[in-house]
Amino acid sequence: MTLLGALCLSSAVAGAPNKGSTITVQVMSTKLMKSPGFLGASIATVVRGDLLTFEEAQKDWYRVTKDGKSGWINKVSVVERKLALSSKPGGGTGGLSEDEVALAGRGFSPEVEQEYRKRNPNLDFSHIDHIQTLQVEPEALAKFAAEGKIGGGK
């Protein structure tokens, strides 16, 4: 029975960084959560390039510390190396904005947008531009899910 418990524990944290090691935020922006999950209270916002100290793993979530605050972050939001913050492949400055780099990562470059606007001259993009500026706090999202009894909300 002890062997089975050890195997389950090791599989839950397989591939996790070593305790005390430094990991880097690789997404543009995300929240450190109070508990391991996407819904609920957040304790801080971290941005691409922020360095975090790894404490422990729980399935797909890492408990980390930053500036004395301890919270949880999904493992897909971090890497175990320092990131070279650049918009140009191979490093250096490429003259691109953070938004352009993010859009290019999703296959939507300024050239693609320009071509799409050219093919669809009567479309109004102002609503999309506005939506891209909106941010929903995890607490508000959790409340919405709970009230609507969706996504595991109770």
Other C-beta atoms closer than 10 Å to the C-beta of 71 total 23
**Tens of pLDDT, residues 30-72:** 999 999 998 888 999 999 899 999 999 999 999 999 999 999 9
pLDDT at 18: 92
Angle, to 10 degrees, between the axis of helix 110-119 and the axis of helix 98-105? 70
pLDDT at 103: 59
Rounded CA separation 108/101 (Å): 9
What is the rounded average pLDDT for all residues in the chain? Answer: 78
Residues 39 and 138 sit within 8 Å (Cβ to Cβ): yes
Q: How many Cα atoms are found within 13 Å in the side-chain-facing hemisphere of 153? A: 16
pLDDT at 15: 78
Residues 48 and 83 sit within 8 Å (Cβ to Cβ): yes
Residues above pLDDT 90, as percent of the chain: 32
- The pair phi, psi for residue 92, each rounded to 5°, is 85, 180
Going by the DSSP 8-state scheme, the letter that residue 75 receives in this structure is G
Q: What is the pTM of this model?
A: 0.58
**Tens of pLDDT, residues 80-96:** 877 666 554 444 445 55
